[in-house]
Amino acid sequence: MGAPSVTTANFQAEVLNSDKPVLVDFWAEWCGPCRMVAPILDEIAAEHGDKLKIVKLNTDEESALAIQYGVQSIPTLHVFKGGQVVKTVIGAKPPKSRSLLVRQLKMRPRHPRIALLMCRPSSMSWLLRIMP
C-alpha cells in the first residue's frame, strides 16, 4: 500500500492540522536505509492506523520543510501531535526504539506476541519489535 506523500502544499492540512498523531518519514529515493523503512512503516500503519497516521516527505523535493524541521540526516522520523514534533527518531536504531515509540504514543499492539520480523543487522528492524 505505502504511505501517502506530503508536500509543502498539503503539509499543514495533512500533518499540522491532523486530529491524530502523524509520523512523518523524511526520506530520499537514493537512501538505502530509507527504502528499508517503507515496509516496516506499512506494518505499523496496518497495526496502529486507527491511532497514528503515517506519511512520507521526500527531502530532495521538499528541502525547505526538511530544513524547517531540522532534518540533517535521513531517515528521520518525526511524530507530530497537535502540530508539534513530540518524538524524533534518526537513522537506524536498536530494536528497543520501536517499542519506545509505540509506548510514547500510548498505543498497544494488537498482536503482543509478534517479535522481530526482519533480522538483517543493518536494517531498520527496530521498528518491527512489538512491546511484550
Q: Which residues are identified as catalytic?
A: 31, 34
Q: How far is CA 105 from CA 51, 72, 102, 124, in A?
A: 9, 24, 5, 19
Compute the distance between CA of residue 22 and CA of residue 45 in angstroms, rounded to an integer. 11
Helix extents (H) in 23-125: 32-48, 63-68, 96-104
Compute the distance between CA of residue 44 and CA of residue 70 in angstroms, rounded to an integer. 24
CB 36: neighbour CB atoms within 10 A? Answer: 18
Compute the distance between CA of residue 58 and CA of residue 63 in angstroms, rounded to an integer. 8
Hey, is 81 helix, strand or coil? strand
